[in-house]
Amino acid sequence: MNNTNPQQARELVINATLVTQASEAVFYEFILGADLCVSACGYLESLSKGRVKPIHEPIKSLYGSLFELNHVRVDPRMDNTFILHTLMGALEAAGVHVKNKRSGDFMSICFKPLGELSDIVRFYIAQDAGLVFLSKAVTLQRVK
């Protein structure tokens, strides 16, 4: 791989908390493709050990569940401009403003790769694996 022209990233990881009435913290990680659809996911069995248990049918198993976005992870060795721009567009369409946006191909992207979000972001998975983002500003914004 040529370091001066990194490959374009085609996926990213979203870490989110399942929203429950019991106020328990159950963490999930979702791998999203370039179309922002869930390609794989799992829940963190052990936060301290980083053990993730895969969910084999995430759309079927998690349909109707509400999640709160914690953070986004990208591959620092790749150019993340396209996938981050796609996600930022979806969030902004849902009424979430992104401040201090990062460039997608620098190591600084590892810390807050999107920049700073103006609002808490919640989402759920639609039947076709697309995400539906929710914010206080706009009730629903479908991504896909």
pLDDT digit string, tens, across residues 7-52 = 888 999 999 999 988 878 889 999 999 999 999 999 987 666 667 8
Percentage of residues of the chain with pLDDT beyond 70: 78
129 CB-side CA count, 13 A: 14
Please answer whether residues 119 and 135 qualify as being in contact, where contact means their C-beta atoms are separated by less than 8 angstroms.
Answer: yes
Q: In angstroms, rounded to a whole number, what is the distance separating the alpha carbons of residues 73 and 84?
A: 10
E strand or H helix that includes residue 84: helix 81-93
Tell me the per-residue pLDDT of 82-121, one tens digit each, with 9 for 90 and over. 988 899 889 888 888 887 766 544 555 555 667 678 788 9
Radius of gyration of the chain (CA): 15
Tell me the per-residue pLDDT of 4-16, one tens digit each, with 9 for 90 and over. 667 888 999 999 9
